Amino acid sequence: MHRYIEARAGHMDTRRIAVLLDDIIADPALHARFVNTLARMEYVGVRKLLKSRRAEQLDLEGLQHMLDENVHALRLKKAATVLAASAGARVTTFSDDDTLAGAAGEGYLQALDHNAEAGLADLPPEKRPEANYLLTTAAIEVRAQVFYPIYDARLSAHDVGFSVAAISKDEDRHLGEMARGLERMFGDWRGRLEPLLADEERLFRDFLDKVELAVAVVRAAQARRA
């Protein structure tokens, strides 16, 4: 799994992520909305886990995973709330006004789930939910292991006062669990995961486009008021 993370770490989108983050972090009100988008994405992850995992398949690691993602959502929501307050703003819900491209963040996860499902038509129906869980989660955790370390470095460079290092550590553990689960289910799982990773790269790029657009909309509104 780590070679997929390294392949992405050298990708041009990585530079794009750092530049976008620097731009967002410099404006605390905007940053609060972006952190709230991340909280929404962690929350959507929890909701997907709760809906998709069958009790017959659920072990201790599976239960812990749900709790971890919920803790991530909560930590990010609290950080977003503090940041917003420092700028005299609020991020109460996960609505469009309280997030930065929040709907696009949720759409990225839904589309990835949908693409994974489409690649499992050859499996017996009863195996598909667990296979989808393993593949979708692995693709998201590869992204998390690219994104959160860059974000954490930019947070400390800007001296923001919170860190996502603990979240990143949990995501790395989840990724290891997915690798073991995929091994048990498929043996050689690479041919299953790699097409989904290619989809993920495109979907994440679309999400970044929407975040950049949302930043531009906020800036245009600020310029009109000035």
CB distance 4 to 196 below 8 Å: no
**Interaction between residue 177 and Fe ion (CB under 5 A):** no
For 119, other C-beta atoms within 10 Å of its C-beta total 16
Among 69, 98, 177, 200, binds Fe ion (CB under 5 A): 69
Segment near Fe ion (CB under 5 A); pick from 76-84, 98-106, 173-181, 189-197: 173-181
**Interaction between residue 200 and Fe ion (CB under 5 A):** no
Beta carbon nearer to Fe ion, 42 or 199: 42
Residues 6+ apart with CB under 8 A from 54: 129, 130
Tell me how far, at minimum, the Cβ of 174 lies from Fe ion, in Å.
Answer: 4
Among 174, 199, 204, 214, binds Fe ion (CB under 5 A): 174
Pick out residues in 17-46 that bind Fe ion (CB under 5 A): 42
Segment near Fe ion (CB under 5 A); pick from 63-71, 106-114, 157-165, 202-210: 63-71
Helices (H) and strands (E) in the chain, counts: 8, 0
d(CA 199, CA 211): 19
Beta carbon nearer to Fe ion, 174 or 192: 174
Segment near Fe ion (CB under 5 A); pick from 13-21, 67-75, 150-158, 203-211: 67-75
d(CA 132, CA 120): 8
HEC letters along 131-156: HHHHHHHHHHHHHHHHHHHHHHHHHH
d(CA 70, CA 68): 5
**Interaction between residue 171 and Fe ion (CB under 5 A):** yes
Tell me how far, at minimum, the Cβ of 12 lies from Fe ion, in Å.
Answer: 25
d(CA 162, CA 141): 21
Tell me how far, at minimum, the Cβ of 218 lies from Fe ion, in Å.
Answer: 26
Between 72 and 111, how does the x/- string for binding to Fe ion read (CB under 5 A)?
x---------------------------------------
For 149, other C-beta atoms within 10 Å of its C-beta total 17
Applying CB under 5 A, the residues found at the interface with Fe ion are: 42, 69, 72, 171, 174
